[in-house]
Structure 1
Amino acid sequence: MSNPNLRLHIQRDQLTWFLDLLLDEREIFQLSASTGIVLDVDRLCALSRRELLVNLADVFLGGVGTAKPELRNPETSANTLVSQFLTEKAQAAISRVGYMEISEIETFFKTSDVLVEGGDFGEVIWALLTDQRTAVVEHGYKLLNTTYASIEMAYTNGGGDFQSMDQLERIDSHHAHDTESDLPQSGVPGREIEHLEQQLADSKADYTSLEQKHNRLDQQRAFLLEENRGLKTKAEENHATEKRLKTLEQENHILRGQIAQYIEDTTELQQLTDERDRLLAEKERIVEQLREYEQIKAAKETFTTDLKLVEEAVYKGHQGLEDFQTTLDSHFDVLENCHQAARGALNQIRQTLSYLDTQEIPEGQSPYNLTTEQPRVGVFVDVQNMFYAAKDRFGRRVDYIKLLDLIVGPRYLMVAYAYVVQIPEINQSSFLSLLEHNGYTIKSKDLRLRGDGSAKGDWDVGIAVDVVSMLGSLDVVILASGDGDFCPLAELIKQQDKRVEVVAFEHNTSMDLQQIADQFFPIGDELLI
């Protein structure tokens, strides 16, 4: 920091105290003479140490002190002389501070106790205050202010007198020494020579002391430099250690990552091993299945060969069965025709016998020689229609045996068909057997179920086909049904000059069918059971 800044930040009493610590009697007298504070030597010698220090502080600060006006020298070069003098005196300390780092300065000059005890407080403070580094200057101000505050300095009476007893005693003793023995008196050359000799001796002693102090400082400086080199070496070692530690930490981090990756790879490898074992087991199972498949395939080929042989045998047997069935069907048709003819003949015989029972046979004439021409009758009974009509209206059943005898009468019965729909839930075997033993031919079909859930089971078309196919051998067609769907069939029968009769329940018979029929036989209680 430059001297102008120093003058702005240091106070007059601080500077006076600081100069008192830094300068001895000879230096104060020499500096006062060189700055021209007092031109008269006698007057200069008459001033006390305190007055000289105050005037030097005023000269340095460029302000007005408490000294008399004739003692002041307003030359601007006085400030420079004081600065140069103090700089030369503190040159060793300035060199020492210049070699030190800021951290070292703050460490070694942390407090002023060591500096005060070593006697170089003033030189070090001046070196710190005039250093070019701001942090060093600020540390110097801090030491100066702290030390000054610790000696309890204050000002009274407006004259800047020290209240510290130690300072007052030291200044008074110096003043007494100056006035009584040290300074030469006017007109006494011998005493002046003695005084100068004493000053020379003091200067030599001071020089010796300074030289010793300088040597001691050089030793301290060498020690500090050596210690500094050791600290730098340790710092470098610490830095290298820290760098190595960081490297080890990075390597440790990398190693941890590698370990984690190894664990992950190991886990994945174990999973792959398990998967391989599973696939091997699956492979063995598939191989076993392939063996079984080959066996099944071989068995299938054998079975296919055998099946072809069986199919050929079945085909041949089927052809034989078809031929046999054809033969049986032809024989059955012949038997059926014979059966129908026999039944017709039997009915004719019954009718003839009944007729003969009602006739008077002349004496001497055989009843078997009588002949009669009776109409041929075909009866077609819709059992389904008759059953539900009787059940719904009367809750009873039709007596089909009486019905057949009633509607045929003395006429010749060619055929009597009973059309039945078989329902799985109802057993009609005994009923059908009864009809067969009493002259009926049974035609049966199963009840058919549609995809929508409804059922189909009627003989309308079947009855019509049978009637038309037999119409050429019949004279009378009797329909036992009240279904109006038979109206077209009844008209067709009449168009062929055949007689059509209808027997059914009156409440359940179509009016059109009743009108078309040549005769309608309503069923009453006599035909119900």
Structure 2
Amino acid sequence: MLKLGIYVDAENIRLSGGYGMRYDVLRRRLGGGAHILRANSYVVEDPQRLDAESEYRSKLYSYFESLRRAGFKVIKKQIRHFRDEEGLDCRKANADLDLAVDALVQSENLDWVVLCSGDGDFVRLVTALQNKGIRVEVLGFRNVSRELKETADRFVNGFLVPGLLPVEDGERIRGWSAWYDGDKGYGFFHYYDPAEPGLVEKDVFFHVSQFREPVDEAVLGRGDNVFEFELAPSASRPGEVQAVNISVFQERVLI
């Protein structure tokens, strides 16, 4: 059985569209049949706010405890307050080095690493792990470094992982346009099947007539846009399904 390590740059994920990410779903969907040997989340806390704001302290500690219940080790980095050369108040907290050192040291016992971050500073870490024979996958949301995405063995768009982020209507699925024929007005969405364990990729037929609102067909020709839709029996293909009630969820998100 493959031995997996999951490393979450929590602040980067939070600020890049992953606020509210379900850590239990992260383990279940990305772990597949592997044995999760390490699961670390690198978080930040503000010591000044901890002392002064009881609500902040309560919410933060509740968040940390939810990560632990999901099976993650919480590694804290405190925010440092300082004044810059112009006398402006600044804050800094960067857990990148902690994450990189841990991943490299712990990789001696790993076959596979999932890095949850869009920070291009991790490109060298990904390469170093790969040079040790380890498969490295990157999961991110918005603002993912193109170089990081291209260096990884696989990039997983967090918006598309079933259940990872809240969906207003639980029946809706997120996917991207894998192919589109503008002359005929139809194509295929690529998505992860929520009924299957792990990340099982599937394709489903769609027609522009099934969009909730008129859509610029140029949007359908791009592979970096995310759509939401439901599955319904196909009227023309017995036994098959098609995408219906379609809407644009996010535009220009790297897939």
State the TM-score, normalizing by the size of structure 1.
0.28
Q: In the alignment, which residue of structure 1 is the partner of 2:12?
A: 385
Q: Determine the C-alpha separation between the residues in 2 that align with 1:458 and 1:404.
A: 24
Q: What amino acid maps onto 1:492 in structure 2?
A: A
| Equivalent in the alignment of 1:491 | 127
**Separation in 2 of the partners of 1:486 and 1:504?**
12
1:389 alignment partner, SS class = helix
Q: Which residue of 2 aligns with 1:440?
A: 72
Q: Matched residue of 2:118: which SS?
A: coil
CA apart distance, 1:403: 1.3
CA offset at residue 497 of structure 1? 1.1
2:29 matched to 1:406? yes
The percent of aligned pairs where both chains have the same amino acid is 31
CA distance in 2, matches of 1:515, 1:463: 20
Say which of 455, 461, 481 aligns to 2:91. Answer: 455
Q: Does residue 397 of structure 1 match 2:29? A: no
Identify which of 415, 429, 432 aligns with 2:61. 429
**d(CA) in 2 for partners of 1:486, 1:414:** 21
Match for 1:450: what amino acid? F
Q: Which structure has greater strand proportion?
A: 2
Superposed CA offset, 1:429-464 (max 9, x none): 111111111210010121101232211111111101
Task: Please give the alpha-carbon distance, in whole angstroms, between the structure 2 residues aligned to 1:405 and 1:457.
Answer: 29
1:514 & 1:459 partners in 2: Cα distance? 20
Supply the distance in 1 between the matched residues of 2:22 and 2:134 (Cα, whole angstroms). Answer: 27
1:528 maps onto 2:154 in alignment: no
Alignment of structure 1 residues 25-64 onto 2, 5 Å: none
- Number of residue-to-residue matches in the alignment: 151
> Cα offset for 1:479?
0.4
Distance 1:476 1:403 in 2: 15
Equivalent residue letter for 2:140: A
| Residues in 2 aligned to 1:483 and 1:509: alpha-carbon distance in whole angstroms | 7
Q: Give deviations 1:20-65, integer Å, cap 9, x for gaps.
A: xxxxxxxxxxxxxxxxxxxxxxxxxxxxxxxxxxxxxxxxxxxxxx
Q: Unpaired segments of 5 or more residues in structure 1? A: 1-373
Q: Which amino acid aligns with 1:522?
A: N
Alignment of 1:296-307 (within 5 A): none
2:43 & 2:31 partners in 1: Cα distance? 21
Specify which structure has the higher proportion of helix. 1
Paired AA for residue 114 in structure 2 = I
Which of the pair has the greater relative contact order for Cα pairs under 8 Å at 6+ separation? 2
CA RMSD of aligned residues (A): 1.4
Deviation at 1:488, TM superposition (A): 0.5
Structure 1 residues 51-450: aligned runs within 5 Å: 374-390=1-17, 396-423=19-46, 424=49, 426-427=56-57, 428-450=60-82
Query: C-alpha separation between the residues in 1 aligned to 2:77 and 2:99?
Result: 12
What's 2:104 paired with?
A: 468
**Counterparts of 2:27 and 2:12 in 1: how far apart (Å)?**
16
CA distance in 2, matches of 1:477, 1:444: 21
**Alignment match, 1:501:** 137
Once the two structures are TM-superposed, the CA of residue 486 in structure 1 deviates from its matched residue by 0.1
| Aligned ranges 1:4-15 → 2 under 5 Å | none
1:513 lines up with 2:148 in the alignment: yes
Contact in 2 for aligned 1:390/1:398 (Cα 8 Å): no
The residue matched to 2:43 in structure 1 has which SS? strand
Output the amino acid matched with 2:91.
Answer: A
Question: Please, what TM-score do these two structures have when normalized by structure 2?
Answer: 0.57
SS of the equivalent of 1:514 reads helix
Task: State the distance in 1 between where 2:31 and 2:143 align.
Answer: 22
Q: Distance in 2 between matches of 1:473 and 1:387?
A: 29
User: What's the secondary structure of 2:83's corresponding residue?
Assistant: coil
Secondary structure of the structure 1 residue equivalent to 2:101 = helix
The structure number with the bigger radius of gyration is 1
The residue identity in structure 1 corresponding to 2:11 is Q
- Give the residue type in structure 1 aligned to 2:37: M
